[in-house]
């Protein structure tokens, strides 16, 4: 079963392995199998589910809502996000304006078939909307009972500090940040994590397996497998390209004996590695088949000893991305419509 951790400086506990449906529900996986996979997650002890209104333009929320409809709502933690273009992509169908936030939360609740979400997240920072407007809208969403907590995704250390201070003034908590983080992508360690620790903000990390690269299925000098994420633009192919070189893929293969010695698969080793960081509340994992869930949850509660952590660093060497400046290049400087 899956262990639980507190989310930020709050009393909310979430499953440290959280089910995310970015590239599966509503697009890559047909609905019946998606629902079966959610059922497998529930049976494995996962109680926390993360989605976003932009995933498959709302369809991912709808599939998740259908899959969870018969569950006891109080036993679940449901997360969603707002920022990216939705609907027909009109001029106000994006960003973190008051209008878009208020309209988006209502749409998300309708698709998710729930009266509230446990965590509502700013999917990126909006450089075109005053932060005061965004945070006041989030405060009102909380006061209306439509979200219990507020989080963000891929915000810089400075943005987290400013947003946290403003949330405190408005009487609600900013409890989480959702960045990319893995053995290969460690850019949050320099500034974001220390700032978050000081503020009482947890990380809910996406792509702990580096879009599947850390599973070892991509081999140096070999064609990528048919139907894999590296071949599918809808499945995040552009994110994986930075890792798809022979140097990185060769280094990843050196992790195989490390995983074997730890009694883990390479994918389990990757998930367990991110969970060693005490600022990580949860690692987001997706699945296209129910049987993948059982393998993923086996990483919960695993403690990697110092020798294993050192062996991982030695295997990956200089293939690791760890420049804190990369955190400043994630949020678009203008809205995407």
Q: Which domains does the chain have, with CATH numbers?
A: 4-329 (3.20.20.100)
pLDDT in tens, 264-295: 999 999 999 999 999 999 999 988 888 889 99
Among residues 313, 328, 327, which one has the least CA distance to residue 189? 327
Count how many Cα atoms sit within 13 Å of the Cα of residue 240 in the half-sphere of its side chain. Answer: 23
238, pLDDT greater than 90 = no
SS3 177: strand
Question: What pLDDT sits at residue 337?
Answer: 67
SS3 216: coil
Count how many Cα atoms sit within 13 Å of the Cα of residue 290 in the half-sphere of its side chain. Answer: 12
Contact 68, 78 (CB under 8 A): yes
Cα 207 to Cα 44: distance, rounded to the nearest angstrom: 20
SS3 285: strand
Contact 281, 287 (CB under 8 A): no
- Residue 277 neighbours by CB under 8 Å, 6+ apart: 181, 193, 203
Say whether 55 is catalytic: yes
Q: Which of 55, 83, 149, 181 is catalytic?
A: 55
pLDDT in tens, 158-215: 999 999 999 999 999 999 999 999 999 999 999 999 999 999 999 999 999 999 999 9
CA distances from 259 to 16, 55, 102, 150 (A): 20, 33, 46, 36
Q: What is the pTM of this model?
A: 0.94
């Amino acid at each position: 079963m899956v262990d639980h951790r507190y989310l930020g400086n709050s009393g909310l506990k979430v499953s440290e392995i959280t089910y995310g449906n970015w590239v599966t529900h509503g697009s890559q996986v047909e609905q019946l199998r998606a629902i079966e996979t959610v059922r497998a997650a529930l049976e494995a002890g996962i109680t926390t589910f993360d989605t976003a209104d932009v995933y498959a333009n709302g369809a991912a929320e709808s599939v998740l809502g259908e899959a969870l409809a018969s569950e006891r709502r109080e036993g679940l933690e449901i997360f969603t996000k707002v920022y990216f273009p939705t609907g027909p992509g009109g001029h106000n169908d994006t960003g973190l304006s008051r209008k878009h936030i208020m309209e988006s939360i209502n749409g998300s609740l309708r698709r998710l078939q729930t009266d509230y979400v446990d965590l509502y997240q700013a999917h990126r920072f909006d450089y075109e909307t005053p932060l005061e407007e965004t945070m006041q809208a989030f405060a009102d969403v909380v006061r209306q009972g439509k979200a219990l907590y507020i989080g963000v995704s891929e915000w810089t250390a400075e943005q987290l500090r400013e947003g946290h201070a403003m949330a405190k003034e408005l009487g609600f908590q900013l409890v989480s940040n959702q960045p990319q983080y893995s053995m290969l992508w460690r850019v949050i360690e320099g500034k974001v994590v220390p700032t978050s620790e000081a503020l009482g903000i947890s990380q809910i990390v996406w792509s702990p397996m580096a879009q599947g690269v850390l599973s070892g299925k991509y081999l140096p000098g070999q064609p990528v497998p048919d139907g894999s994420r590296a071949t599918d633009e809808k499945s995040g192919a552009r994110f994986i390209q930075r890792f798809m070189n022979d140097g990185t893929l060769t280094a990843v293969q050196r992790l195989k004996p490390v995983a074997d010695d730890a009694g883990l698969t390479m994918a389990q080793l990757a998930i367990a590695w991110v969970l060693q960081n005490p600022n990580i509340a949860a690692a987001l994992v997706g699945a296209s088949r129910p049987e993948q869930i059982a393998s993923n949850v086996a990483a919960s509660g695993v403690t990697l000893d110092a020798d294993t952590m050192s062996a991982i660093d030695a295997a990956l060497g200089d293939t690791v991305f760890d420049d804190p400046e990369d955190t400043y290049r994630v949020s678009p400087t203008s809205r995407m419509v």
